[in-house]
Amino acid sequence: MQKTITKTLSVLTEDATSAWKALNGIICIYKPADVSCHRICNTIAYKISNELNQMKCRPCSDYIQIEGDPIKHLTVIRKENLADHPLVVGPRYDQKDVRCTWSNYLGFNTSGILLMGLQNGTKMAALIRSNKLMRSYRVKGLLGRATDNFYKDGKVVERTTMGFIKSHHIDHLLSSMQSSHQRKMFNATGVDLQSQTAYELAVKGQVRPVCSETPILYGIKCVDYKPPEFTIEVQCVNEYEMYLKALIHEIGIKLHSTAHCIGIQCIRHSYFNLDNALLQKHWTLQHIFDNMEECRKIINEHENLTKNNAIVIQ
């Protein structure tokens, strides 16, 4: 916790037009729980357009008017074109002008790292999404109670005892789950697990599913156990919120008890970790630009973010 982050902030230009043109790329933000991704997109777009409007914007265009009697003398007058005035046509930058999408969708109850593409960066965001990079989650569960939607806000449907569960029970269960997932992956490639080809596959890197429907766990372990709460860390691909909630429920049942999820946090997305993420209070233009620069460096360093060369299950 003693780690202090000192960042040199670049000085933001006063001109809104140049700031608008520079606004292309990926940003990494910290999504709070109980907010949807759509809403975060809208918030970011609103903040950006609002701040751009407060900067020096484009002046009104000219309005040329010809006055006088056409037979005698005509004078050409150049005036400010009021039809182009911000009070008449509205502010220069509108919220809807900012294109903004996420590269990995996080569910409503999930908090943590959310990569977002701004303007032309939305293409990059789509590319990162299609590459199915690994994400790490920290999922918290509470033993002893099962709810109807596997989450803490649901109705409690079952109560069980949990005093007999020790930390090594959870470790044992999780390691067997991890190995079964790994075996599932190699089975899907169609090679014998004891063969040379399987070894060569494993050397090349992680085996990834080609479709985006089947969730696959690469690693799962318990990082904290304070009965009745426990925290597991999951590395996975293609997961979705309900899958992780159901995972906790399943762990509860396998431990001969019940459990429900009390929190999901995405702590890592490929090469982006919590240090890069922008907190809600820092969603301002200045911080967004700094973060964009930081993310650009990471993307340039690791070409497998945008170029897919891992082994896929056909």
Partner 1 sequence: MLNMLLQRFKLFHNLRRLSHTQSEDLKQSFQTNNATCGEEHLPSDLQIVDNQTKYQSVLEECTDDISHVATYLKPTFNFAAYINKSRTLQELVKLNVDLSVLEKKPKVVPFILKLEFEKDVKNHVIFLSELGVENIGNFITKNPFILKEDLENLKIRINYLKSKHFTSDMITSIIPRNPIWLSTSTQDIDSKLGFFQREFQLSGKEVRALAVQQPRLITYSLQHVKLNTFAFKEEMGLRDDEVKSMLLKKPNLFMKLHTNLLKTFEFLHKKMNIPIERIVEVPQILTCRVFRIRQRHLFLDTLGRAQYNPRKPNYVPLIGLVSGSDVDFCRDIAKSSVQDFNLFLKSF
Region from 1-9, 42-50, 119-127, 287-295 binding partner 1, contact rule CB under 8 A? 1-9
What is the C-alpha separation between 236 and 219, in angstroms, rounded?
7
- Which one of 21, 32, 153, 197 is in contact with partner 1 (CB under 8 A)? 32
Q: How far is the CB of 72 from partner 1 (least distance, A)?
A: 10
The burial of 230, by beta-carbon neighbours within 10 Å (0-12 exposed, 13-18 middle, 19 or more buried), is given as: buried
Q: Kindly state whether residue 4 participates in binding partner 1, applying the rule CB under 8 A.
A: yes
What is the C-alpha separation between 225 and 170, in angstroms, rounded?
9
Name residue 208's amino acid.
Answer: R
Region from 46-54, 159-167, 171-179, 275-283 binding partner 1, contact rule CB under 8 A? 275-283
Residue numbers 278-297 binding partner 1 by CB under 8 A: 279, 281
Q: How far is the CB of 31 from partner 1 (least distance, A)?
A: 10
Q: Kindly state whether residue 227 participates in binding partner 1, applying the rule CB under 8 A.
A: no
Q: Kindly state whether residue 230 participates in binding partner 1, applying the rule CB under 8 A.
A: no
**Closer Cβ to partner 1, 116 or 237, answer by number:** 116
The burial of 52, by beta-carbon neighbours within 10 Å (0-12 exposed, 13-18 middle, 19 or more buried), is given as: buried
Q: How far is the CB of 44 from partner 1 (least distance, A)?
A: 17
Give start and end residues of each alpha helix (H) in the chain.
Answer: 16-21, 37-54, 86-89, 121-130, 167-189, 196-204, 241-254, 285-301
Residue numbers 249-268 binding partner 1 by CB under 8 A: 265
CA distances to 121, 282, 296 from 52, in Å: 18, 16, 22
Distance between terminal CA atoms of the chain? Answer: 44
**If you write DSSP's letter for every residue of 199-240 in order, what string do you get?**
HHHHHH--EEESSSSS-EEEEEEEEEEETTEEEEEEEEES--
**Closer Cβ to partner 1, 14 or 69, answer by number:** 69
Going residue by residue from 59 to 98, which x/- string records binding to partner 1, judged by CB under 8 A?
----x-----xxx---------xxxxxxxxxxx-------
- Which one of 27, 146, 277, 292 is in contact with partner 1 (CB under 8 A)? 277
Q: How far is the CB of 149 from partner 1 (least distance, A)?
A: 20
Task: State the maximum Cα–Cα separation within the chain, in Å, rounded to a whole number.
Answer: 105
**Closer Cβ to partner 1, 7 or 307, answer by number:** 7
Are the beta carbons of 205 and 72 closer than 8 angstroms? no
Residues that bind partner 1 (CB under 8 A): 1, 3-5, 30, 32-33, 63, 69-71, 81-91, 111, 265, 274, 277, 279, 281
